[in-house]
Amino acid sequence: MRKPIWLLLLVVPALLDAGGARAQSQGAYIGVGAGASNASFNSSGFQLGNPGVAESADKTSTGGKVFAGFRFNRNVGAEVSYVDLGKFKYSYMGAPATGTAVVDYKVSGFTVSGVALLPVSEEFSLFGRLGAFVSTTTATVSNATGPVFGSFDGSSDTAHKTTVYFGAGAQYDFLQRLAVRVEYENYGEVGDSDNTGRAKNQPDLGESAVPFPVA
């Protein structure tokens, strides 16, 4: 993909310490998030250039993440996470002499990032992040028929890649140990040109999350 895969999350971080301070204070926390993700396929890795084959891409999916972080002070923190960006599809449909096929494109991996925060009030803050995404991308050919595609049915390739990962969002601390966060994250270009094809992953609006508070 030439454009990055991105994920817009509504996440709920929960402080791990037993103190009564709000989520903006120092301490460790965990959380989960889920929402829509979006991917753009790199044409050089997917398009056949055959006028007899119609091509289409399903570039949206549902992704999510689990994460842990530490707030060093009101302005600086760090996070690690495991992210599953969902499954995307690229489809080929030709005449009977050509056949049809669908490529299932799955992306997951781990992130590490530094977080800079700007408290606007006691409860509300803005933040940005910058780090790295270590991705695993798997492309599997399914529902393949015909002389062109049939022999590839069930074939699969996997690629690993590390990309720059960044994001921005806002957080509201509505309880002493619980907060809600809305976030945009960009995971860069994943996959490779030789095996899986490349794609860029990024999030769509509308993510929700469930907290995992620790007593």
Span 196-206, pLDDT tens digits = 444 554 433 22
Whether 209 shows a pLDDT value over 50: the answer reads: no
pLDDT at 182: 84
Confidence class for position 100, pLDDT limits 50, 70, 90: confident
Cα distance between residue 121 and residue 124, in whole Å: 5
Whether 113 shows a pLDDT value over 80: the answer reads: yes
Whether 20 shows a pLDDT value over 50: the answer reads: no
129/25: higher pLDDT: 129
Share of the chain above pLDDT 70, in %: 77
* Statement: the pTM of the whole predicted model exceeds 0.85: no
CA of 153: how far to CAs of 26, 93, 94, 101, 159, in Å? 52, 14, 16, 8, 19
Mean pLDDT within 134-150: 85
Mean pLDDT within 8-29: 58
pLDDT at 16: 58
Give phi and psi for 152, each to the nearest 5: -95, 0
| CA angle (49 as vertex; 46, 50 as ends), nearest 5 | 115
Whether 211 shows a pLDDT value over 70: the answer reads: no
The number of beta carbons lying within 10 Å of the beta carbon of residue 194 is 10
Least Cα distance to 131 among 66, 208, 181, 77 occurs for 77
- Four-way CATH pick for 6-203: 3.40.50.150, 2.40.160.20, 1.20.120.530, 3.10.129.10: 2.40.160.20
| CA angle (101 as vertex; 97, 106 as ends), nearest 5 | 165
CA of 198: how far to CAs of 61, 138, 142, in Å? 17, 11, 18
Confidence class for position 22, pLDDT limits 50, 70, 90: low
Q: What pairs with residue 198 in β-bridges?
A: 191
CA 198 to chain centroid: 15
The number of beta carbons lying within 10 Å of the beta carbon of residue 19 is 11
Element (H or E) spanning 37, and its range? Answer: strand 27-41
Whether 210 shows a pLDDT value over 60: the answer reads: no
44-82: pLDDT as tens digits: 778 887 788 888 888 888 888 889 999 898 899 999 999
E strand map for 120-208 = 124-142, 156-172, 180-186, 188-192, 197-203
